A and B are shown apart, each in its own frame.
Chain A
Amino acid sequence: MVATSSSVGSGAAGAATFVGSGSRKFNYFDPRGKRATHYEDVTVDVQPDPDRYLIQNWIIEFEGGKGGGAYQKDNTAALSSNWHAFRAPDQEWERTHYQRQSKIVTMVQNVISNARKAGAHTAFDQAWCRILQAHLGAWKHAEFGLGTSLMQAQRYGYTQMINNATLTNSSYKMRLTQDITLYLAEIGMDIDGWDDELGKRTWLEDPIWQPTREAIETIMGSEDYLEQYFAINIIFEPLVGELVRSGFFMQVAAANNDFITPPVISAAEADYERNLANAIDLMYVLINDEKHSDHNRNLFQSWIAKHGSLANKAVNALQPIWSQPHSKPVAFEDVKAVSQERIGQILGELGLSR
């Protein structure tokens, strides 16, 4: 078969040389490095705006024209002289996202399945069993709240790069909340007297969890998408998220004969490393903005004050959980100190303080 509509009988690169025949790179944006990455090629400028190429401006507006066009810079109180500068360090696009997520869910299912086959749960300490039902069961709702907040937030950013980083962050959180839900449901089938509803009751009613719920609901209630993204990744995750996941479940489980929970949770810590890198990079760009540096710094400090205070309240209320297992390999104060140091490092990278 020959390409009948081609003057040279072929449609392949190199079949003819003419002006433009060698132009084989997207040339409408400046790559962050020397050459555009694959992530940049499939991401940058897909969501256009009047600053970049929309010569007709937005062509539909909200609320009879009063609500502005599809994307508005003032969806956040932060200011930027170039919203297009940010590139997500995790370089996530669809293929890498599915590869990573798929590996994680497969790993988690294998862990659960093999552990159940081996009867690993029969060795669980009784007190620990209750902790899983109540507190890991409660924690899954916290993760769900973060996931839905990020799902909400990914609608509002001014560029594709910001929104896609927020979208994948949401996807990771939604996977985690489902991983935990199904893990608990499955091991619950093998454990007599397992109460799979206890987690939600604990989340809604147990005083230990109410400050955490308040912190999450405050993030869910924010109408500033960047505040949601900041509050989650810069404040809540290091102060509360890592404290609960790593500082409690991952470190305490083994000492109570539970070798299953740590690997189920562990993927979330790796997820967070990626999302933290994305968040720090975005905030760094804004804090070092040539025109709006001071404004953004002050704004971020106000978010630290607001969400930091709620997160601290949550952390202190969670303290009794560390006393509940029979075996207590780590002390609350020690892991709390680690999380305080962690947030200090994160804020330090951004030149912010508590």
Chain B
Amino acid sequence: MAITLNKITSQRGISVGEATKKISDLGWNPTYVQEASTFPTDYKITKAPRDPMKQVLRSYFPMEEEKDNRVYGALDAALRGDMFRNVEPRWIEWMKLFLAIIPFPEISAARSMSMVARLAPGEDLRTGFTMQMVDEFRHSTIQMNLKKWYMENYIDPAGFDITEEAFGKCYATTIGRQFGEGFITGDTMTAACMYLTVVAETAFTNTLFVAMPSEAARNGDYALPTVFLSVQSDESRHIGNGHSLLMAALKEPENHLLLERDLRYAFWQNHAIVDAAIGTFIEYGTTNREKEKESYAEMWHRWIFEDYYRTYMLPLEKYGVKIHHDDVQEAWRRITDKKYVHKVAQFFAVGWPLNFWRIDSQTEKDFEWFEHKYPGWYDEFGEFWKWYAKLSKPGEKVITFNEETGYAYPHRCWSCLVPCLIREDMVIDQIDGEWHTFAHELDRWTAVEAFSDEYQGRPTPAMGKFSGKREWETVYDGWDLADAIKDLNFVREDGETLTPQPHLRFHDKDQWKLEHVRGHQLASPLKALRAMSDADRDAHVAEYRKGFTINPCN
């Protein structure tokens, strides 16, 4: 038998289990000065959670470096292979929105690790949180690097060039802000454990980081799958962290009510935000219309319904946490029967002048695929996209203010920040004596009942509160559209041409300029609602719930 190098050099070492045991013994209970208090929580956790991954930094760093080498090697290879010659602009344009949003939630997740690290006794899981902190730093900066790479190599860099400024200002990115700020603000357990790890990372990163890269590849973009599948490979450790802390929280019966509340809030809001954005990217950013491929709805059923709901959420019931099965069914109905994603895409298209990317119109080939996957789609959206194509030429009356289409600008949901697009589900309620609008009863419940200082008779002083100018339209209420776009800095270097365009025609003669959109006044629907008398408001809400009909486009 041949002797191998391994046999000659093999050496007795300590086991992984022993190594993690020793590392988890590095902490101690301070006696001179207590550790600084961190952000508050209404939860009580007395059981020390375990680190399920049992990994140490000496293996973690080389592993991540190797992953990086593959990512950056692939990016170089993509350029050598002239990837951008073949890439579909319809797809890359949506990456201006997606990549404007995602680095902030990622780095927020790094900050979240500080918040959860001291919640539970023991040091075991703190090592896991430390690695997640560094992971999230990786994700945030690797994604910024990808965006810079797109900017340098894609045909139209405008929109990538203002990316982080645009993130703070745009009426679409505000939805992503709710996601990222939700990880780091409010009750620590609610934000950094339940909203971030237990729901966002465990359930929705599958659609974010697995489903979306598949669609990118179908559109000639091999870079996004390279980066995001590498990112996703870190997520299993994060899911383990969240689950471990969740198990520790479950040990205390007095946490069960809060767990029920937070699982409900986090699932619903992740659905509302992630499905709005990722659903739109996948369904409307693609040029690939193979009928055999899964639709977003089908992927959702696989990843969220079968994988997450059935195998992760449901088993929590046996630990005594009430699971709201109806919420999951309702989210599914919204994605299928109520065509949530399609209404979001329609809303983004209506608001294109206030975006910072190009939105392509949909064609007959797209219509056929949508009708095949979402029966009834054409009757509801076909005429709209014909209008959109027709009104994409500069000189036409901008679609946002074009009454001929029949579209009615929506109210904004105070909770998820996606507008109230499923009109029949819109509800209103008061907070601190002021009216607010909500996309769904569960959004109302979130803002009014869950984010409150008392929940079902139990004081919850640590819970956060929704604040700021959450209705984006409030910021530019009364402004001329052209002035608002200029103020947003969504104008190209000549000071006239808009960064966003409602088409993919890369010629100066086809570009919309400020002069083409001037003369239309923006208004806050919420402000108008608040100014109404009770009777007028009731009538307005009843009318709103009836919805609208898109006029035929001839």
B458 at the interface (CB under 8 A from A): no
**B40 contacts across to A, CB distance below 8 A:** 62-63, 67
Closest residue of chain A to B146 (Cβ to Cβ) is: A42
Q: Which residues of A contact B23 (CB under 8 A)?
A: 178, 181-182
A residues in contact with B240, CB < 8 Å: none
Bound-state CA distance A25–B161 (Å) is: 6
The answer, yes or no, to whether B355 is at the interface (CB within 8 Å) is no
Taking the complex as formed, is A46 at the interface, i.e. its CB lies under 8 A from any CB of chain B?
yes
**Interface 9-mer from B112-120, B343-351, B537-545:** B112-120
Question: CA–CA, A61 to B118, complex, Å?
Answer: 21
Q: Considering only CB atoms, which chain A residue lies closest to B182 in the complex?
A: A60
Q: How many A-B residue pairs have CB under 8 A?
A: 372
Instruction: Kindly specify which of B257-265, B435-443, B500-508 makes contact with the partner chain.
Output: B500-508
B144 at the interface (CB under 8 A from A): yes
Quick check: B28 and A214 within 8 Å, CB to CB? no
Mark A11-50 against chain B: 1 for CB-CB distance below 8 A, else 0.
1111110111111111111000000001001111111100
Check: A144 CB closer than 8 A to any chain B CB.
yes
Measured CB to CB, the nearest residue on chain A to B503 is A7
A133-154 contacts to B (CB < 8 Å)? 140-141, 144, 147-148, 151-154
Determine if B26 and A5 form an interchain contact, defined as CB atoms under 8 angstroms apart.
no
Q: Which residues of B contact A11 (CB under 8 A)?
A: 84-89, 92, 154-155, 220
Closest A residue to B18 by beta carbon equals: A185
Is B25 on the interface with A (CB-CB < 8 A)? yes
Say yes or no: A24 contacts B137, CB within 8 Å.
no
Pick out which of these stretches binds chain A: B57-65, B246-254, B272-280, B314-322: B57-65
CA distance A44 to B185 in the complex (A): 21
Identify which of A8, A116, A148, A152 contacts B506 (C-beta below 8 A). Answer: A8
B380 to chain A, nearest CB (A): 24
Given A19-B494, A42-B141, A102-B62, CB of A24 within 8 Å of CB of B468: no
Asked whether any CB of chain A lies closer than 8 Å to the CB of B35, the reply is yes
Say yes or no for A108: interface residue by CB 8 A criterion: yes
- Answer whether residue B72 sits at the interface, using C-beta atoms and an 8 A cutoff: yes
Q: Which B residues are in CB contact (< 8 Å) with A10?
A: 84-86, 155
B482-501 with Cβ < 8 A to chain A:
492-494, 496-497, 499
Asked if B34 is at the interface of the complex by the 8 Å CB criterion, the answer is yes
B33 CB contact (under 8 Å) in A116, A175, A217: A217
Name, among A2, A19, A47, the residue most crowded by chain B CB atoms within 10 Å (CB to CB). Answer: A19
- Report A-chain residues with C-beta under 8 Å of the C-beta of B220: 1, 3, 11
Task: Assess whether B27 is in contact with A42, with CB atoms less than 8 Å apart.
Answer: no
Contact B11 A113 (CB under 8 A): yes
With A46-B144, A63-B40: A12-B154 Cβ-Cβ less than 8 Å: yes
**Whole-angstrom distance between the Cβ of B446 and the nearest chain A Cβ:** 12
Specify which of A13, A29, A59, A156 is in contact with B153 (CB 8 Å cutoff): A13
**B27: contacting residue among A1, A2, A148, CB under 8 A:** A148
Q: Which size class do A's interface residues fall under?
A: 35 or more
Flag B37-52 by CB within 8 Å of A: 1 or 0 each: 1111000000000000
Rounded to whole angstroms, the CA-CA distance of A140 and B91 in the bound complex is: 50
- Contact across chains for A167 and B470 when beta carbons are under 8 A apart: no
Determine the chain A residues whose CB is within 8 A of the CB of B467 once the complex forms: 57-61, 65, 69
What separation, in Å, do the CA atoms of A8 and B9 have in the docked complex?
60
**Is B168 close to A, CB under 8 A?**
yes
Asked if B165 is at the interface (CB within 8 A of a chain A CB), the reply is yes
When A4-B287, A11-B86, A52-B168 are in contact, do A62 and B39 touch as well, CB less than 8 Å?
Answer: yes
Q: Given A56-B469, A60-B186, A200-B28: A20 and B141 within 8 A (CB)?
A: no
Q: How far is the CA of A221 from the CA of B86 in the complex (A)?
A: 56
Complex Cα spacing A144 to B57, Å: 13
Known A46-B140, A60-B186; judge A148-B126 contact (CB<8 A): yes
Q: Contact at A116–B168, with CB atoms within 8 Å?
A: no
Of A1, A41, A116, the residue contacting B11 (CB under 8 A) is: A116
B497 x A19 contact (CB < 8 A): yes
Determine the chain B residues whose CB is within 8 A of the CB of A12 once the complex forms: 82, 84-85, 87, 153-155
Q: Is the CB of B156 within 8 A of A4?
A: no
Which of the candidate stretches B103-111, B208-216, B292-300, B334-342 sits at the interface with the other chain? Answer: B103-111
Q: Is B164 an interface residue (CB 8 A)?
A: yes
B29: nearest chain-A partner, CB-CB? A204
A45–B494 CA distance with the chains assembled, in angstroms: 24
7 further A-B pairs in the complex, CB-CB below 8 A; given A5-B90, A64-B452: A20-B157, A20-B492, A21-B156, A97-B137, A163-B110, A170-B130, A178-B57
What are 21 A-B pairs with beta-carbon distances under 8 A? A1-B86, A2-B86, A11-B88, A13-B157, A15-B155, A18-B156, A28-B164, A28-B165, A48-B164, A53-B164, A54-B168, A56-B468, A57-B468, A63-B461, A65-B467, A94-B140, A154-B111, A171-B130, A214-B32, A218-B32, A222-B36
Binding site for A on B (CB under 8 A): 9, 11-14, 18-19, 22-23, 25-28, 30-40, 56-58, 61-62, 64-65, 68, 72, 82, 84-92, 103-104, 107-108, 110-115, 117-118, 126-127, 129-130, 133-134, 137-142, 144-145, 148, 151-158, 161-165, 167-169, 174, 177-178, 181-182, 184-186, 220, 287, 360, 417, 452-453, 461-470, 472, 475, 492-494, 496-497, 499, 504-508, 510-511
